């Protein structure tokens, strides 16, 4: 009995959806916008996360040694630093490498290169580039290095300068901007999604209201409430399904374009991200669409029938 | 109580009995102290000018409205004392045809009729058997898969009639069924209703169309200003 009922209701809802042409298209469009907003917000969150990680990557502490410092002493310092749990990696640049890098950076600056020639010795010292696990730890790492005795005896004698203090302000600022953006982004996401759902719900409600005559005829002919409500709910779910398919397809060219043009800005190649997470994203869109469509329709039709 | 029946021999059952029914709407009175009875298998036309109360009468029989005073009986039950469940059962015994057709716009002719059967829980096999039959009866077999907007006025009304009779109701109420039709279609519709009546269904028809009454030549109840002014066995249109 249930199967016959389900089959009839599904067939009825399907026919309603297909044959309503214009109004179905309107619902699908609104729902697509909603799903589009939801997916965009997922992308934005992913981008913000990637940006944060990027910052963590770019932020580092560089310890510059005086020219002529003993390589053994520098190695000692390097090993003791690597032992610290807060430190992720330590990169060593020798004096010669430093000179080579300098020459490359200034390859077009003839005057500077000439000035370099005038000098007999390499004016540059070796350096250690330290990357921490978390940007918030640079402060303590910096302090640790500056403290005479904790690193190694006489370490401070060969250290020229520590390039962190200068960047500290910038690093902190960037950190707080991005964390703030993440929090704000989350709240804005929720609000936008809520607004979209409300708009979709109202659109479906209006459409059901437009079917007033039809609903009255169905009741006149003796159809019970479930028989009247069922097809509308099925139509609503179908709207969600079609809208999610549309959204998925829409995002393909968008993500390609963003992947090509905006990877630097977003710290993330959206096309790659989209491809990698395609299945999960599609499921999220499909489930959201079906849920919003189904629930909107059932709320709308049940309230209408109560009158 | 009802001397008519005794006169006619006492075998025929009263199907619908209006007992001193009055219906008032706010300040105006739509029906005043109406009493009559309709027996099984009768074809009764209710005539009157627009506003005379014909549609109100139809609504009262369907229990869509309650009388301000008086009672309406179906067989021996007061229809306004029925529970919701029994009311649904009662309504399934009545097929209704309206002036504005009231078809489901997004379904084909076949599906419109099938819906009436689905609504009362009939099986698919029964539906597949009965619907083509009834389409033949109203001469719409060739348009089974057309949508209402593809049908003419006359065809729409025939479809509405087909839907009304598919569940084999005991009564058909046709409220101004020919109101939106031209004379030729009016003729056709009336003929179909007569055919249905010949097969045993009680038909109650409301109209203000003279031609319809003269075509039917059966009992006519005349309403004027909410009162029954005439009740003729061989009705003629007299207003």
Q: Which residue of chain A has the CA closest to B113?
A: A221
* Residue A250 and residue A200 in one domain: yes
Q: What is the pLDDT of residue A167?
A: 66
Choosing from A166, A185, A205, the residue where a domain stops is: A166
A306 Cβ neighbours under 8 A, 6+ residues apart: none
To probe the interface with A, which of B106, B122, B127, B150 has the most A CB atoms within 10 Å? B106
B72 Cβ neighbours under 8 A, 6+ residues apart: B16, B17, B18, B19, B21, B60, B61, B63, B78, B79, B80
Report whether pLDDT(A109) > 50: yes
Q: Tell me how many residue pairs between chain A and chain B have CB atoms under 8 A apart.
A: 42
pLDDT in tens, A208-260: 888 888 888 888 787 888 888 889 899 999 999 999 999 999 999 988 888 88
As a whole number, mean pLDDT of residues A56-61 equals 74
As a whole number, mean pLDDT of residues B16-23 equals 88
Of B106, B115, B124, the CB nearest to A221: B115
User: Would you put residue A279 in left (φ > 0), alpha (ψ -120 to 50) or beta?
Assistant: alpha
A→B interface, C-beta within 8 Å: 4, 8, 15-16, 19-20, 213-214, 216-218, 220-224, 227
As a whole number, mean pLDDT of residues A47-72 equals 79
Cβ contact B106–A217 (<8 Å): no
Mean pLDDT, rounded, of chain B: 85
Q: How far is CA B58 from CA A188, B132, B173, B206, in A?
A: 57, 29, 7, 8
- Tell me whether residue B138 is in a domain: yes
Of B102, B111, B147, the CB nearest to A217: B102
Burial of A84 (0-12, 13-18, 19+ CB in 10 A): middle
Q: Residue B6: pLDDT band by 50, 70, 90 thresholds? A: very low
- Residues of A with Cβ-Cβ distance to B92 under 8 angstroms: 222
Cβ contact B102–A213 (<8 Å): yes
> Quick check: B128 contacting A, CB < 8 Å?
no
0.90 surpassed by complex ipTM: no
Cβ contact A217–B167 (<8 Å): no
Cβ contact A214–B119 (<8 Å): no
Distance from CA of B125 to the nearest CA of A (A): 12
Domain that residue B177 falls in: 41-66+93-232
Cβ contact A221–B119 (<8 Å): yes
CATH number of residue B175's parent domain: 3.40.50.300
pLDDT in tens, A162-205: 777 556 677 777 778 878 888 888 888 888 888 888 888 888 88
Distance from CA of B194 to the nearest CA of A (A): 22
- Tell me whether residue B127 is in a domain: yes
* Residue A47 and residue A144 in one domain: no
Domain count, chain B: 1
Choosing from A166, A201, A221, the residue where a domain stops is: A166
Phi first, then psi, for residue B176 (nearest 5°) are 50, 55
Domain that residue A155 falls in: 59-166
- B93 vs B61: CA distance, rounded Å: 12
Of A15, A19, A222, the CB nearest to B91: A222
Pairing of strands B14-25, B69-74: antiparallel
Q: Count the Cβ atoms, other than its own, within 10 Å of residue A83.
A: 8
Q: CA geometry: angle at B112 spanning B107 and B118, to 5°?
A: 115
Residue B162 in contact with residue B134, Cβ under 8 Å? yes
* Residue A187 and residue A300 in one domain: yes
- A51 vs A268: CA distance, rounded Å: 8
Token pair 């005794």 is found at B6
Report whether pLDDT(A27) > 80: yes
Q: Which residue of chain B has the CA closest to A221?
A: B116
To probe the interface with B, which of A23, A218, A222 has the most B CB atoms within 10 Å? A222
Which range (A79-83, B115-119, B196-200) has the least confidence? A79-83
Q: What is the pLDDT of residue B239?
A: 56
- Tell me whether residue B163 is in a domain: yes
Of B111, B119, B124, the CB nearest to A223: B119
Q: What is the pLDDT of residue B7?
A: 45
> Quick check: B237 contacting A, CB < 8 Å?
no
Residue of A135 and B63 predicted with greater confidence: B63
* Residue A181 and residue A281 in one domain: yes
Share of chain B above pLDDT 70, in %: 92
- Tell me whether residue B200 is in a domain: yes
Q: What is the pLDDT of residue B202?
A: 93
Report whether pLDDT(A307) > 80: no
Q: Residue A272: pLDDT band by 50, 70, 90 thresholds? A: confident
> Quick check: B170 contacting A, CB < 8 Å?
no
Choosing from A138, A166, A194, the residue where a domain stops is: A166
Axis crossing angle, helix A22-58 with helix A278-306, rounded to the nearest 10: 140
- Tell me whether residue B34 is in a domain: no
- A257 vs A93: CA distance, rounded Å: 39
As a whole number, mean pLDDT of residues A25-33 equals 90
Q: Count the Cβ atoms, other than its own, within 10 Å of residue A5.
A: 15
Which range (A108-117, B35-44, B151-160) has the least confidence? A108-117
Of A19, A223, A224, the CB nearest to B106: A19
**Paired tokens of A196:** 């979209």
CATH number of residue A99's parent domain: 3.30.70.3040
Domain count, chain A: 2
* Residue A205 and residue A261 in one domain: yes
> Quick check: B102 contacting A, CB < 8 Å?
yes
- Tell me whether residue B208 is in a domain: yes
Cα maximum dimension of chain B:
52
Report whether pLDDT(B147) > 90: yes
Residue A162 in contact with residue A62, Cβ under 8 Å? yes
Write down the pTM of the prediction.
Answer: 0.72
As a whole number, mean pLDDT of residues A78-98 equals 84
Q: Residue B4: pLDDT band by 50, 70, 90 thresholds? A: very low
Mean pLDDT, rounded, of chain A: 82
Q: Which of B203, B194, B236 is nearest to B61 (CA)?
A: B203
Q: What is the pLDDT of residue A182?
A: 80
> Quick check: B198 contacting A, CB < 8 Å?
no
Q: Which helix (H) or strand (E) holds A144?
A: helix A138-146
Report whether pLDDT(A95) > 70: yes
């Amino acid at each position: 009995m249930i199967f016959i009922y389900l089959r009839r209701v599904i067939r009825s809802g399907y026919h309603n959806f297909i044959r309503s042409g214009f109004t179905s298209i309107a619902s699908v469009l609104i729902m697509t916008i909603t799903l589009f907003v939801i997916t965009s917000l997922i992308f934005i969150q992913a981008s913000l996360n990637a940006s944060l990680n990027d910052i963590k990557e770019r932020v580092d502490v560089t310890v510059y040694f005086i020219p002529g410092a003993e390589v053994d002493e520098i190695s000692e310092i390097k090993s003791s630093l690597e032992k610290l749990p807060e430190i992720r990696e330590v990169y060593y640049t020798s004096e010669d490498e430093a000179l080579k890098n300098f020459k490359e950076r200034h390859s077009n600056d003839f005057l500077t290169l000439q000035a370099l020639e005038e000098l007999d010795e390499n004016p540059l010292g070796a350096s250690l580039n330290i990357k921490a696990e978390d940007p918030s730890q640079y402060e303590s790492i910096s302090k640790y290095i500056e403290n005479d005795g904790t690193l190694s005896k006489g370490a401070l004698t060969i250290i020229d300068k520590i390039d962190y203090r200068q960047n500290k302000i910038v690093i902190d600022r960037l950190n707080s901007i991005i964390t703030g953006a993440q929090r704000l982004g989350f709240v804005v996401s929720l609000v936008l999604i809520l607004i979209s759902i409300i708009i979709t719900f109202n659109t479906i409600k209006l459409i059901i209201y437009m079917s007033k005559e039809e609903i009255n005829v169905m009741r006149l002919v003796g159809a019970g409430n479930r028989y009247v409500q069922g097809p509308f709910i099925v139509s609503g779910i179908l709207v969600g399904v079609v809208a999610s398919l549309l959204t998925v397809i829409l995002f393909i060219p968008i993500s390609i374009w963003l992947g090509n043009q905006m990877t630097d800005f977003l710290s993330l190649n959206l096309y790659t991200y989209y491809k990698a997470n395609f299945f999960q994203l599609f499921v999220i869109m499909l489930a959201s669409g079906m849920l919003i469509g189904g629930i909107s329709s059932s709320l709308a039709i049940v309230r209408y029938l109560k009158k | 109580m009802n001397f008519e029946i005794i006169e006619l021999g006492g075998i025929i059952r009263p199907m619908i009995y209006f007992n001193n029914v009055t219906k008032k709407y706010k300040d105006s009175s739509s029906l005043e102290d109406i009493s009559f009875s309709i027996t099984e298998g009768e074809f009764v036309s209710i005539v009157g000018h627009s506003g005379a109360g014909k549609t109100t009468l139809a609504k009262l029989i369907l229990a869509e409205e309650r009388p301000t005073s008086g009672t309406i009986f179906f067989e021996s039950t007061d229809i306004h004392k029925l529970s919701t469940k029994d009311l649904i059962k009662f309504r399934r015994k009545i097929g209704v045809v309206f002036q504005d057709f009231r078809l489901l716009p997004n379904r084909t002719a076949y599906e419109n009729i099938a819906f009436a059967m689905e609504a009362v829980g009939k099986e698919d096999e029964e539906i597949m058997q009965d619907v083509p039959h009834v389409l033949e009866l109203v001469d719409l077999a060739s348009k089974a898969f057309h949508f209402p907007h593809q049908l003419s006025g006359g065809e729409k009304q025939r479809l509405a009639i087909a839907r009304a009779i598919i569940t084999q109701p005991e009564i058909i109420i046709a409220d101004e069924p020919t109101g939106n039709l031209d004379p030729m279609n009016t003729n056709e519709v009336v003929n179909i209703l007569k055919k249905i009546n010949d097969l045993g269904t009680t038909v109650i028809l409301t109209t203000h169309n003279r031609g319809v009454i003269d075509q039917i030549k059966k009992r006519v109840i005349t309403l004027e200003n909410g009162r029954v002014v005439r009740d003729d066995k061989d009705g003629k249109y007299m207003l």
